[in-house]
Structure 1
Amino acid sequence: MTSVDLTALGVQDLLRLDGAVLAELRRRGLVRTGNKPLGDVAEAVVHAARDGVLEPNSTKSHDITTPAGDRIQVKAMGVRSAGTAAKFGAFRSTDFTTAVFLVFDIDFNLIEAREVDAAVIEQTRLVTHINGRQPTLRWVRTVGTDVTAEMQAAWAGLNQTPARAAIVAPMHHPART
């Protein structure tokens, strides 16, 4: 990849570039909103790994329904200075089967993925001022099952340029075995 000197761009140019990047990610089917793309990309990773239905944004409690009927909630974060005390987005409902937590480094390499049953998340403390349960990275590492290799393989498939992806990968999602 060619390095781009962002310091040479004005603020308006940076905002236009951000818009163009989001538009291209949307065209590729990786993001569905105008929000920061990490959450949408994380959902696309888990969907590529597990197949099934990527639910509409307005669906309560889960992001993906697998062919087996499991409901998966997806949470993601970039590595932060808070380290393992960093918190994932809040759970305001646990009407899902499992949650998959993805952690990306500063260069958006997928460095860790853990899966936690909804019943385990229900055992965490309810934070009243956000009306939700907000697990830390440390807690997820303690209770979660490591699914890093599975999610990294899905991320590698999604991370290809469109021209190369058409040559290397089939255009459909194979059934999970």
Structure 2
Amino acid sequence: MFTDYTSSKDTDRRPVDLTALGVQDLLRLDAAIIAELRRRGLVRTSNKPLGDVAEAVVHAARGGVLEPNSTRSHDITAPGGQRIQVKAMGVRSAGTAAKFSAFRSTDFTTAVFLVFDLDFQLIEAREVDAADIEQTKVVAHVNGRQPTLRWVRSVGTDVTAEMQAAWTRINETST
């Protein structure tokens, strides 16, 4: 329980019990907080913990080892030794032209791409071989390969049901 929260208008300390919220509810709260901070002109980006959550989803689905953040080129080592890179995005107004974050190395086996809607429902998941990603062009200003959602849909294998099941388990067990 987070107990140091007070509003400048409050005279008493009212704790906010975040432990009672599921992962999806915490993400919604985070989105609302970031949106309000942007409205107030206090933050310029909408960086979210979505990438870390996506890694947890793929790890829950595939098992293995969730690698430390400093591990180069992959996020998960599956039980069979496959190295998995995880990419995630929230639905954006750019539609299928929206780009995932850049790949600066393809020293992994596959990449799993997760797409969440504005309510943090996992709506799509695709898996793409590293060899396919190597065929995309390097974008100079990000110094890496930056696939679009359209491209991922065109070459990726649909793993949505598998990842949605893992997402559901995470939401059910995290409260």
TM-score (norm. length: structure 1): 0.72
| Cα distance, 1:162 vs structure 2 | 3.7
| Cα distance, 1:130 vs structure 2 | 1.1
- The structure with higher relative contact order (CA 8 Å, sep 6+) is 2
| Cα distance, 1:129 vs structure 2 | 1.6
| Cα distance, 1:98 vs structure 2 | 0.1
Matched to 2:144, the amino acid is: G
Matched to 2:102, the amino acid is: A
Structure 1 CA distance for aligned equivalents of residues 48 and 67 of structure 2: 18
**Counterpart mapping for 1:1-177 below 5 A:** 36-160=48-172, 162=174
5+ residue gaps in structure 1?
1-8, 11-16, 26-34, 164-177
Identity in percent: 80
Structure 2 CA distance for aligned equivalents of residues 84 and 129 of structure 1: 21
Matched to 2:49, the amino acid is: P
Structure 1 CA distance for aligned equivalents of residues 141 and 118 of structure 2: 30
Count of equivalent residues: 136
Matched to 2:77, the amino acid is: T
| Cα distance, 1:161 vs structure 2 | 5.1
Structure 2 CA distance for aligned equivalents of residues 84 and 162 of structure 1: 31
TM-score (norm. length: structure 2): 0.73
Matched to 2:139, the amino acid is: V
- The CA RMSD measured in Å over matched residues stands at 2.0
CA offsets, 1:3-38, max 9 Å, x none? xxxxxx88xxxxxx9xx69xx96xxxxxxxxx6210
